Each structure stands twice: as C-alpha cells, then as structure tokens.
C-alpha cells in the first residue's frame, strides 16, 4: 500500500515528495576492483511531510532543491511507460533463471563481482553460485536484474517504502535516487509510471531517460 506516499516530477524542476517518506544517504561499499558489495549508511535526513529533491544536479543544498533549476534546466521526461515485463529479456540458467531489463541499468556494479551475474546464471553449477546470484540481483538498486527460480518465482528483496540518496565513491561520482518499496512516481504530465519495488531516479540532470537514471552521472561536464 502506498498510503499517500508519492513522488511527483515537477516540470523542469525537482521531485516533490509527499507522504512523510523516510530518506537516508547510502554509498556503495566496493571491493578492491571497485565493484559494489554492500550498501553503507552515511546519514539519515530529517524531512517534513513534503520535501523537494534536486534533479538538475546544480543545487548547493543537495539532496534538496535550492532553486538552481531556474538558472536553466531541461527536465523533459523521455522514459516510456513500459512495464518491467515489457522491458526484460529472459535468460535460462543452470540453477536459477534471470530477467534483465538493460535499459534500467544505473551502473551500481553489484552484478560485476564473482565472474558476473550473467556468466554465473548460464554456467555455474556449484551450490555457492546460487547464493552469489541472489545477492547480486537483489542488491541491484534499479531493479534491472531479477532472479527467477526454476519454479517461476521471482526473487525480490523486501524493501520498506523509503528513499536513499546513493553515492559511488569508487567511481568518484554521485549515484541516483533509489526509490524503494513500490512508491508511486507521477510524471509532470500527470500519468503514473508503472510501480516497481526498485527504481533509480536521475539526480545529476544528465540522463537521456528522465526521470530514470541511465548512468550518465559517470560522464564529466
């Protein structure tokens, strides 16, 4: 149940968050190669029932909006309204199967540890491989990857309805806004995007798939 919790994309402006949604600040905790292993909590924010999060990348009061978008920000939304099933391809595996909606990728790199999710799904038969696959897929913040049991059950992490501001120290970049637990996201035009358990929203202003993150925060300039 959303219980009034909602994120509204304001035209060429910030995200308007209503419903007293908790918000914290996490960073990817990487291994020695810069691939992400876990989330590390950095801070918890105290917000009002309604607050506004920067999506232009220019605010001097991140993660909150300070009006910098008025200096010139094209926040036109280009993400479609396709469901996850419409975006995802199905990959048959040795122990578990995999659904992969590549266009949702936010570059978090949990999938790159231990030979990579796709390789493990397609080739690994040892008992430990399944646990690694489930760790990689359930930690994917954008929901790009979903493990599926051989009985057809999709393995989704249990996430409370909250927001996390993500940072990527290994890449020396700020990450996206991680929306968890099936919170409604409404476009500036008034339609609701398909509700998903895991969504990553752009907060650098560079995405070509607004309001969703498309890894553009890795680019300079």
Output the six-digit token pair for 108: 């978090």
pLDDT for 12-38, tens place per residue?
999 999 999 999 999 999 888 889 999
| Burial class for 49, CB neighbours closer than 10 Å (0-12, 13-18, 19+) | exposed
* Distance, CA of 185 to CA of 149 (rounded, Å): 29
Contact 65, 54 (CB under 8 A): yes
pLDDT for 192-212, tens place per residue?
999 999 999 999 999 999 999
- Distance (Å) of CA 99 to CA 13, 40, 88, 135: 33, 26, 6, 15
* Distance, CA of 23 to CA of 168 (rounded, Å): 17
Residue with tokens 């300079």: 220
Backbone angles phi, psi at 8, to 5 degrees: -110, 125
Beta strand pairing status for 198-201 and 97-100? unpaired
71 three-state secondary structure: helix
User: Which pLDDT belongs to residue 2?
Assistant: 52
Whether residue 220 is predicted with pLDDT greater than 70 in this model: the reply is: no
Mean pLDDT of the chain: 95
| Strand ranges, E, within the chain | 6-9, 15-18, 23-30, 36-45, 50-53, 89-91, 97-100, 145-148, 154-155, 162-168, 173-180, 184-186, 198-201
pTM: 0.95
159 three-state secondary structure: coil
Q: Cα angle at 165 between 163 and 167, to 5 degrees?
A: 150
């Amino acid at each position: 149940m959303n219980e009034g919790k909602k994120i509204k994309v304001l035209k060429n402006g910030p995200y308007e968050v209503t419903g007293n949604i908790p918000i914290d600040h996490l960073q990817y905790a990487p291994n020695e190669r810069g691939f992400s292993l876990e989330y590390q909590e950095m801070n918890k924010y105290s917000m009002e029932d309604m607050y506004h999060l920067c999506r232009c990348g220019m605010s001097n009061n991140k993660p909150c909006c300070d009006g910098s978008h008025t200096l010139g920000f094209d926040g036109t939304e280009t993400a479609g309204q396709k469901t996850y099933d419409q975006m995802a391809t199905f990959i048959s595996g040795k122990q578990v199967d995999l659904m992969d909606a590549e266009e949702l990728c936010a570059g978090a790199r949990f999938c790159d540890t231990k030979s990579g999710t796709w390789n493990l799904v397609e080739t690994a038969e040892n008992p430990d491989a399944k646990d690694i696959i489930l760790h990689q897929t359930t930690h994917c913040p954008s929901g790009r990857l979903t493990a599926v049991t051989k009985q057809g059950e999709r393995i989704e992490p249990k996430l409370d309805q909250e927001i996390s501001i993500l940072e990527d120290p290994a890449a020396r970049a700020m990450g996206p806004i991680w929306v968890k637990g099936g919170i409604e996201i409404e476009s500036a035009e008034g339609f609701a995007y398909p509700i998903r358990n895991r969504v990553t929203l752009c907060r650098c202003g560079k995405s070509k798939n607004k309001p969703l993150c498309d890894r553009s925060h890795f680019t300079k300039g």
